[in-house]
């Protein structure tokens, strides 16, 4: 099975406190720690496990600048054989449709049986996989938390509300977006990353992809982020302050008053 996994480099919210910059038009990007989008790690792990079972190769692709090379190498250290970087100034500020347009062009340069994306990334659109599938007229399932490989098709479980799982049969080739928890992504150490540091990663710009720059990036975006802001806290929580003993005393009173302590 030839599998392509779409991945993204994102600010790591577990390692940073995301704050606004002084102009208030972006988040503060100095000193941000970046990592691979959480959902994408599960997608790459799943692809590797499928290839371990049925053979084939895993390729990871990302839309980003030179810095995005580090997430491709991290996923290659996990076990993906190939990486592809889609990098051009014209790609900056693409909306989900723009990103899917670029990924479609990259897909068409290869021959893949299965394309995986993470269920969502930092902006929370949960859109790129579904868009890519529709652009390529391939079947699609989102929030996949189980994959069984059959003959020319897959049986996939989708996560739906309330912990239920929706089972579908889907023809190959297809696109799936992967939900967390489907597997346990393997640990990647510095040593593994060093081992793949010499591998050449092909880079494509708009020309090489055959994409009209006007259809992607800020130029092609129908959906545009105007600014970042911190919402007014409105009601907000009553913050308990004081020494730890004082806070705990207040908390115990509050729990008693609300029937939490007998």
Partner 1 sequence: MATVYAFVAHNDGVLDDSAAELAAAAKKFTDAPVTAIVSGSGVDAAAAKAAELFPAVWKMDAAELAYPNAEVVRKALLNNLDAGAVVLMAHNTFGMDLAPGLAVKTGGAFVADVVAIEGADGDTLKVVRQEFGGVVSTHVTVDMSAGAVITIRPGAIAAEEGAAAGGAVEEKAVGDVSAKRKFIEVREPEAGDVDITKAEVLVSVGRGIEDQDNIELAHELAKAIGSQAEVSCSRPIVDAKWMDASRQVGTSGKTVKPKVYLAMGISGSFQHMGGIKGGLIIAVNKNPNAPIFQVANVGIEADILEFIPELTEALGEL
- Footprint of ligand FAD on 87-116 (CB under 6 A): none
Exactly one of 143, 144, 156, 216 binds ligand FAD (CB under 6 A); that residue is: 143
- Residue 238 contact partner, candidates ligand FAD, partner 1, none, CB within 5 to 8 A by sort of partner: partner 1
Tokens 């040593």 belong to residue? 191
Tokens 């115990």 belong to residue? 252
Residue 196 C-beta: closest distance to partner 1, Å: 26
Residue among 11 and 110 whose Cβ is closer to ligand FAD? 11
Tokens 């000193």 belong to residue? 31
Residue 173 C-beta: closest distance to ligand FAD, Å: 24
CA-based torsion, 149, 48, 65, 223: positive or negative: positive
Residue 198 C-beta: closest distance to partner 1, Å: 33
Q: Output the six-digit token pair for 6.
A: 């779409």
Q: What angle do CA 110, 112, 115 make, to 5 degrees?
A: 120
- Count how many Cα atoms sit within 13 Å of the Cα of residue 173 in the half-sphere of its side chain: 19
- Residue 157 contact partner, candidates ligand FAD, partner 1, none, CB within 5 to 8 A by sort of partner: partner 1
Q: Output the six-digit token pair for 256.
A: 């008693």
Neighbours of 103 (CB within 10 A): 27
- Strand pairing of 153-159 and 140-149? antiparallel
Residue among 160 and 255 whose Cβ is closer to ligand FAD? 160
- Give the footprint of ligand FAD on residues 167-226 (CB under 6 A): none
Residue 80 C-beta: closest distance to partner 1, Å: 21
- What is the total count of residues that contact ligand FAD (CB under 6 A)? 4
Residue among 161 and 200 whose Cβ is closer to partner 1? 161
- Give the footprint of ligand FAD on residues 114-133 (CB under 6 A): 119-120
Residue 158 C-beta: closest distance to ligand FAD, Å: 10
Residue among 188 and 196 whose Cβ is closer to partner 1? 188
Separation CA 175–CA 87 (nearest Å): 23
CA dihedral angle for residue 223, residue 17, residue 19, residue 143, rounded to 10 degrees: 10
Provide the binding-site residues for ligand FAD, judged by CB under 6 A. Answer: 14, 119-120, 143
């Amino acid at each position: 099975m030839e599998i392509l996994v779409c991945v993204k480099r994102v600010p790591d919210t577990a390692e940073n406190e995301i704050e606004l910059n002084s102009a208030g038009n972006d988040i503060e990007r100095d000193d941000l720690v970046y990592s691979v989008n959480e959902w994408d790690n599960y997608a790459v792990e799943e692809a590797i496990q499928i290839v371990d079972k049925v053979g084939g190769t895993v390729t990871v692709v990302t839309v980003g600048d030179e810095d995005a090379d580090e997430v491709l190498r991290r996923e290659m250290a996990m076990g993906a054989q190939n990486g592809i970087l889609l990098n051009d100034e014209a790609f900056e500020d693409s909306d989900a449709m723009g990103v899917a347009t670029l990924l479609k062009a990259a897909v068409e340069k290869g021959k893949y049986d299965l394309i995986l994306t993470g269920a969502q990334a930092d902006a929370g659109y949960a859109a790129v996989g579904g868009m890519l599938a529709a652009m390529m007229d391939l079947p699609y399932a989102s929030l996949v938390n189980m994959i069984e490989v059959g003959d020319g098709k897959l049986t996939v479980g989708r996560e739906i509300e309330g912990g239920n799982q929706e089972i579908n049969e889907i023809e190959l080739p297809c696109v799936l977006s992967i939900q967390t928890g489907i597997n346990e992504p393997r640990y990647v150490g510095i040593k593994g990353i060093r081992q793949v540091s010499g591998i050449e990663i092909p880079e494509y710009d708009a020309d090489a992809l055959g994409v009209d720059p006007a259809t992607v990036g800020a130029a092609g975006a129908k959906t545009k982020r105007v600014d970042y802001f911190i919402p007014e806290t409105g009601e907000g929580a009553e913050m308990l302050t004081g020494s730890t003993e004082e806070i705990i005393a207040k908390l115990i009173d509050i729990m008693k008053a609300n029937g939490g302590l007998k």
